[in-house]
């Protein structure tokens, strides 16, 4: 039997890359494959079927065995394994955030990202490897580094969006935010590549020029190592006089996240760097209209199922939100277009079909 190893530096609860790895693992096990997860750390996950990375060489022992490496940060150990081991190699590319975003905010983040970008050139040059990318944007980046298009496929990441149908929305969130206000939602960790400053600027224009009876809800974990960034956001909100209209929720449960999507009139994002952006797909699945700055992978993920601007112009963004908030027919059309795109392209069933087709073609 073919052994399939899934390799990543760390597995974290609620992390998009970790969700993709777990999705791969679950569908491989369901299909009867002898799959095994390998990582360097997984402390936050209470599961006992992960092995340490130093056990990979005792699991991958045949040329027909398969190693799937999820690449999102530089990791010397994985590079050594990939170069030394004799097997079929698949690299899933999730993109690496450019270090410039973290300079002046956190030196460790900047160093890790810089190492990741530098090591990417070596990752893109693994002989005989098959490359899977979350998005066309990621694939294009690999192609620019010499990866052949015939050895490159786009497969969106597995996710936990299906869980929304199995959990009840947090009623405390519904009770608090279902009122007469227009709720604009953003979901994403508080990190400098996410462009929250431009988001707040756009909301400021909408709130003051279009509708004072409005609220911006920012859902996302706060990392203490990025305190300089988060403090700047709080100060910006205060300087604009928006303290009563901008809500930072921090990290939330699945039940609460579902509730925030249910109370949202629109989802707005001004992120400057995304390798895929799962919250966009969550919005589509929940039929929440999307307004976005079309940076990096965002246009590929949204497609035609949202209002995407080439610039993060606050007036364009605010006008788009007003259009959605005041014209119910446009809101409904955008919501339905998002739902259709989700059903056609981004369900776990669709992703599993594409992924297993790849595995069956190479085993």
- Say which DSSP state 346 is in: I
Q: What CATH number belongs to 3-158?
A: 3.40.50.2000
Model confidence at 13: pLDDT above 90: no
Q: Which of 127, 92, 88 is nearest to 4 (CA)?
A: 88
Residues 277-299, mean pLDDT to the nearest whole number: 98
- Mean pLDDT of the 111-135 span: 95
How far apart are the C-alpha atoms of 68 and 4, rounded to whole Å?
Answer: 7
Give the end-to-end CA distance of the chain in Å, rounded to a whole number. 10
Sorted by sequence, the CB contacts under 8 Å of residue 326 that are 6+ apart come out as: none
Task: State residue 103's pLDDT score.
Answer: 96
Using CB atoms within 10 A of its CB, is residue 104 exposed (0-12), middle (13-18) or buried (19+)?
exposed
185 forms bridges with which residues in the sheet? 217, 267
Q: How confident is the model at residue 41 (pLDDT cuts 50, 70, 90)?
A: confident
| Per-residue model confidence as pLDDT tens digits over 149-166 | 999 999 999 999 988 989
- What Å distances lie between residue 329 and 41, 323, 326, CA to CA? 48, 10, 9
The average confidence (pLDDT) of the chain is 96
For the residues 333-361, what does the mean pLDDT come to? 97
Instruction: Read off the pLDDT of residues 325-341 as tens digits, 9 standing for 90 and up.
Output: 999 999 999 999 999 99
Query: 162-346: what fold?
Result: Rossmann fold (3.40.50)
Please list the residue range(s) of the chain that carry CATH number 3.40.50.2000: 3-158, 162-346
Q: What is the mean pLDDT of residues 184-206?
A: 98
Q: Which two tokens stand for residue 99?
A: 């270090």
Q: Is the pLDDT of residue 47 over 80?
A: no
Tokens 């709130």 found at: 207
pLDDT band at 46 (very low <50, low <70, confident <90, very high): low
Calculate ∠ Cα 350-219-292, nearest 5°: 65
Q: Which of 46-55, 207-216, 337-346 has the lowest mean pLDDT?
A: 46-55
Residues 49-81: tens digit of each pLDDT: 799 999 999 999 999 999 999 999 989 999 999
């Amino acid at each position: 039997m073919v052994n399939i190893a899934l390799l990543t530096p760390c597995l974290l609860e609620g992390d998009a890359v970790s969700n993709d790895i777990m999705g791969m693992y679950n569908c491989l096990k369901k299909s009867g494959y002898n799959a095994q997860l390998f990582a360097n750390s997984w402390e936050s996950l209470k599961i006992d079927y992960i092995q340490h990375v130093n056990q990979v060489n005792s699991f991958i022992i045949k040329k027909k065995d398969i190693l799937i490496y999820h690449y999102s940060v530089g990791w010397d150990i994985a590079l050594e394994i990939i170069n030394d081991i004799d097997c079929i190699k698949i690299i899933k590319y999730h993109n690496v955030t450019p270090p410039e975003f973290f300079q002046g905010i956190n030196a460790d983040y900047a160093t890790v990202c810089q190492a990741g970008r530098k090591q990417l050139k070596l990752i893109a040059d693994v002989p005989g490897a098959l490359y899977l990318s979350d998005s066309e944007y990621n694939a294009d980046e690999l192609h620019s580094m010499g990866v052949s298009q015939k050895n490159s496929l786009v497969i969106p990441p597995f996710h936990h969006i299906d869980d929304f149908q199995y959990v009840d929305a947090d009623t405390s969130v519904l009770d608090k935010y279902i009122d007469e206000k227009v709720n604009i939602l953003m979901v994403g960790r508080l990190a400098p590549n996410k462009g929250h400053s431009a988001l707040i600027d756009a909301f400021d224009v909408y709130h003051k020029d279009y509708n004072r009876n409005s609220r911006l809800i920012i859902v996302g974990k706060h990392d203490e190592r990025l305190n300089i960034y988060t403090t700047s956001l709080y100060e910006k909100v205060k300087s604009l006089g928006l303290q009563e209209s901008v809500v930072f929720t921090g990290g939330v449960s699945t039940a609460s996240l579902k509730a925030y999507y249910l109370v949202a009139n629109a989802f707005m994002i001004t992120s400057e760097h995304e390798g895929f952006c799962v919250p966009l797909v969550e919005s589509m699945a929940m039929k929440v209209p999307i307004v976005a700055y079309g940076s990096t992978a965002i246009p590929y993920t949204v497609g035609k199922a949202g209002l995407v601007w080439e610039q993060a112009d606050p007036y364009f963004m605010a006008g788009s939100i007003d259009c959605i908030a005041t014209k119910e027919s446009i809101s409904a059309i955008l919501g339905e277009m998002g739902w259709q795109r989700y059903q056609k392209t981004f369900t776990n069933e669709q992703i599993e079909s594409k992924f297993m087709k790849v595995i069956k073609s190479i085993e």
